Amino acid sequence: MFSEALSDKFQHLREHCKTHTLEETNVMFKQEFGKYLSEVFDKFEEVPIASGSIGQVYKASIGEEDFVVKVRHPGVKEMINKDLSILFGASKMVGKIPYLK
């Protein structure tokens, strides 16, 4: 569907996304669940195994059970809501343009 050059650019973006700190993850986890990571997980890897445009993924465990934990980047929810508001506003404006016959 896309050219190889464009696909390569997108692959680079996917593979080199900015990460946020473990401290930020811990604060957001506490805000969302009322507990710090150390109060829930026996082990929580400090370095994410992946990061994307929406969030990042960590390895964690409780007892013998292993998990992956995906955490949104700080502020991403607000950014998505703003983007959606802009898109909905633009679509309403476009919907008011009269069609030419």
The pTM score is 0.67
Whether residue 101 has pLDDT greater than 70: no
Q: Where are the domains of the chain?
A: 4-95
Among 19, 17, 68, residue whose Cα is nearest residue 45? 68
For the segment 3-49, what is each residue's pLDDT rounded down to a tens digit? 888 777 777 666 667 789 999 999 999 999 999 999 999 999 999 99
| Strand extents, DSSP E, the chain | 43-44, 50-51, 55-62, 65-72
**Chain centroid to CA 1: how far?**
25
